[in-house]
Structure 1
Amino acid sequence: MRIGELAGRTGVATRLIRYYEQQALLLADRLPNGYRTYGEDHVERIERIAGLVQAGVPTRLVKVLLEAEDACAREQATCSAEVAALLAEELVGLEKRIACLSRSRDTIRQFLAQVSASPAPARCG
């Protein structure tokens, strides 16, 4: 598939897909005419990258995480002390964001439960 179709399937803008390629997060196949071409594995990879970025993980760490996942999938888990320190630092930030999002979710649920439990307001006019 071409980049436009990949963008449509993943909901990620073509310029972001190109940016992910520039950051070495994604490697497109190339046709003889130089056009990028993508397969189903690219769809999954873009969705994973976009999810991590939306969760607040910087692209430099997204690359580290994807490389670690790829290594684990090949059962070649290797992690330098430097990478482990980066991941540990990022984990602290992720846990804080998750806690904040969880509080917001709980507040929204509580509000919606109160609204649905209260009688409908009287109409004016």
Structure 2
Amino acid sequence: MRWVLACGLCVCVAACNGADPIPSQAPDPRFVGLTLVPVSTGLAVARSGGRHIDFGRARDGALSTIAAIAGKAPVAQPCEGLDAFAVGTDLIVIFSADRFVGWQTRTGRAGRACGAGAV
């Protein structure tokens, strides 16, 4: 019985030591070194051999690919009548009816965009 209690105590101490119980996943090697480049038709994927995330692409697939390339999930942003997500500190991607319809940065935009100064 004492052995069971001792094992239980060890488990509790290990769980409370602040260590991450789930090891972080390494980045997917398919996306390492790639970057997103805003272009008039959507987003080019630099160093990918010419791949793009074009306007009209389904939201879930576009956000999943953007997250993999950026190394973190895009963060929802307010955008009246549209769904917008910040990617890093300057790029916002815009969706309508579950389709990728635009992007905007501090210095440019293509497709649909949120109100002026939204970045």
Q: Same fold (TM over 0.5)?
A: no
TM-score by length of 1: 0.20
TM-score by length of 2: 0.20
Q: Return the structure number with greater helix share.
A: 1
Q: Return the structure number with greater strand share.
A: 2
